[in-house]
Amino acid sequence: MIKDQPIKIFPTVETLAKTFAELLKQNVDMTDDNDFYSIALSGGSTPNKIFRYLSENFDDKINWAKIKIFFGDERCVPPDNEESNYRMANESLLKKISIPKENIFRIKGENDPVKEAARYEEVLKSNIPSVTGIPQFDLILLGLGEDGHTASIFPNQVYLFYSIHLCEVAVHPQTKQKRITITGKIINNAKHILFLVTGKNKASVLSKIIDVNNSKSEYPASLVNPKNGKLTWLLDIEASKMFVSKSNNDVIER
Ligand code: 6PG
C-alpha cells in the first residue's frame, strides 16, 4: 500500500522517458564535480524503450563520467545471452553513450550464483557511500511484474526482501531460472526510487499495490518504501487504468 507517494501518469512511454531523462540530467548536473551519481538499473522490457530514448536524445546532454551504473538484478546467464539485463542495457544505452567502462558495475550472471551474490555485495559496499552502515544509491530504478515482483524478488520468496544481505540468489517461480537480486535492505536505503511501469498488463497488480484501501499486500513491490528517501511512480496511461483511488498525486504529463 503506497500512500501519498508521487504518481506521474504519461500519455505515452516516450513522454515518460523524456521526464525520466530530464530528471536524471537534473540530478547529475547537481552532483559535485568530485562526486558521482550512483544508479541501479532495472531489467525487463520496459526500461529498454526508456534507455533507447535516453541514448538517442541525451547522450550529449548528460555528463556520463559522473555516473556509476549498477544493476538491481540479473539473470544467471552470460552477458551476451538475450535474457541478460546487462545485454539489454548495453544494447539500448551503455554502448551508445560516452560513459567510462570503469563506471559500469555488471552483475556477472555467468558466475556461480551464490559466489556472485557475495561478490556483488562487496562491489556495492566498496563503490557506494554508506548511510547508517548500508550503501545508499542515489537512484534505484525498479520495474513491476504482473505477479507483483520487483527486482527479482518474487511473491513466493518475499523473505528475500528482508535478508540481512544486500544481494541474494532468487529463483524465478515459473522458469526456475536463477537470478541475483538486490534486497530490501539496500532498496529502502536509497535516496530516490523510481518505479517505471507501463502497459495494460500491469494495470491490475498496480491498482492493488497503489490503491490506498489495500492495507494488506503480499506483493514484494508493496514493500518498497524508502526509509528516508523518495519513491516516485512513473506510469503510462495504460498501466494506470484501474486505479480506484484518484489521489491528488496523479499528474497527467502532456
Ligand atoms: C527483470 C526485472 C524485473 C522487471 C519486471 C517488469 O530482471 O525482469 O528486473 O523486475 O522489472 O519483471 O518487467 P517488464 O518491464 O518486462 O514488464
Could you tell me which of 166, 175, 84, 156 has the C-alpha nearest to residue 125?
Answer: 166
**Average pLDDT of the chain, as a whole number:** 93
**Burial class of residue 147 (count of CB atoms within 10 Å of its CB; 0-12, 13-18, 19+):** middle
Q: Quote the ligand 1 centre to 161 CA distance (angstroms).
A: 16
For residue 85 and ligand 1, the question of a CB distance below 6 A is answered with yes
Looking at residue 254, what is its pLDDT?
42
Q: Quote the ligand 1 centre to 48 CA distance (angstroms).
A: 10
**What b/e string do you get for 50-89 counting C-beta neighbours within 10 Å, with b at 16 or more?**
bbbbbbeebeeebebebbbbbbbbbbbbeeeeebbbbbbb
Q: Quote the ligand 1 centre to 38 CA distance (angstroms).
A: 20
Confidence of residue 218 (pLDDT cuts 50, 70, 90): confident
Candidate from 13-17, 110-114, 172-176, 247-251 with smallest mean pLDDT:
247-251
How many of the other CB atoms lie within 10 Å of CB of 23?
Answer: 16
Confidence of residue 217 (pLDDT cuts 50, 70, 90): low
Looking at residue 6, what is its pLDDT?
87
The larger pLDDT score, comparing residue 194 to residue 252, is at: 194
Region 2-24 average pLDDT: 89
Ligand 1 atom, smallest distance to 150 CA:
10
Report the nearest-CA residue for atom 7 of ligand 1. Answer: 43
Region 69-89 average pLDDT: 98
Region 73-97 average pLDDT: 98
Q: Quote the ligand 1 centre to 251 CA distance (angstroms).
A: 24
Q: Quote the ligand 1 centre to 85 CA distance (angstroms).
A: 9
Looking at residue 1, what is its pLDDT?
39
Q: Quote the ligand 1 centre to 144 CA distance (angstroms).
A: 6
Region 236-244 average pLDDT: 86
Looking at residue 19, what is its pLDDT?
96
For residue 189 and ligand 1, the question of a CB distance below 6 A is answered with no
pLDDT (tens digit, 9 = 90+) per residue, 178-212? Answer: 999 999 999 999 999 999 999 999 999 999 888 75
Q: Would you say residue 250 has pLDDT above 70?
A: no
Report the nearest-CA residue for atom 2 of ligand 1. Answer: 43
| Domains present along the chain, CATH in parentheses | 8-182 (3.40.50.1360)
Report the nearest-CA residue for atom 15 of ligand 1. Answer: 46
Looking at residue 104, what is its pLDDT?
98
Helix or strand holding residue 73 (H, E): strand 73-75
Looking at residue 242, what is its pLDDT?
87
Q: Would you say residue 137 has pLDDT above 90?
A: yes
pLDDT (tens digit, 9 = 90+) per residue, 90-104? Answer: 999 999 999 999 999
